[in-house]
Amino acid sequence: MNSKIITRFAPSPTGFLHIGSARTALFNYLFARHNNGKFMLRIEDTDRARSTKEALDALLLGLNWLGLEWDGEVIYQFARNNIHAEAAKTLIEKGAAYYCFMSQEEIEKARSAAVAAGKSFIVKSPWRDADPSSYPHDRKPVIRLKAPNTGETITKDLVQGDVIVANEHLDDMILLRSDGTPTYMLAVVVDDHDMGVTHIIRGDDHLTNAARQILLYQAFGWDIPQMAHIPLIHGADGAKLSKRHGALGVEWYESAGYLPEAMCNYLLRLGWSHGNDEIISREDAIKWFDIEHIGKGPSRLDFDKMRHINTHYIKEMPNLILLEKILKLLPDISEISKIAISKALDSLKPRATLINEIAEMAKIYIIENEITISSEAQDIIQESDSHLIKEAIIVIENSDNLENINETLKALAEAHGLKIGELMKPLRALITGMTNSPSVFEIINIIGKETSIKRLKKGI
**Nearest-angstrom CA–CA distance, 261 and 157:** 30
Q: Choosing from 4, 243, 296, 349, which is the catalytic residue?
A: 243
Cα gap 70→28, rounded to integer Å: 10
Backbone angles phi, psi at 69, to 5 degrees: -80, 130
| Strand, coil or helix: 157 | strand
Distance in angstroms (rounded) separating the CA atoms of residues 129 and 146: 9
Q: Which residues contact 17 (CB under 8 A, 6 or more apart)?
A: 11, 25, 58, 59, 62, 63, 249, 250, 251
Q: Collapsing DSSP states into helix, strand and coil, what is residue 255?
A: helix
Length in residues, the chain? 460
Cα 251 to Cα 18: distance, rounded to the nearest angstrom? 9
As a whole number of angstroms, the distance between CA 34 and CA 293 comes to 14
Element (H, E) at 9: strand 6-9
Q: What is the DSSP string of 162-210?
A: EEEEEGGG----EEE-TTSPBPHHHHHHHHHHHTT--EEEEEGGGHHHH
Residue 285: partners with Cβ closer than 8 Å, 6 or more residues away: 30, 264, 265, 268
Q: What is the 3-state secondary structure (H, E, C) of 94-108?
A: HCCEEEECCCHHHHH
Q: Is 243 a catalytic residue?
A: yes
- Report, in angstroms and rounded to the nearest whole number, the Rg of the chain calculated over CA atoms: 32
Q: State the chain's maximal CA–CA distance in angstroms.
A: 110
Cβ contact 444:428 at 8 Å: no
Which residues are known catalytic residues? 243
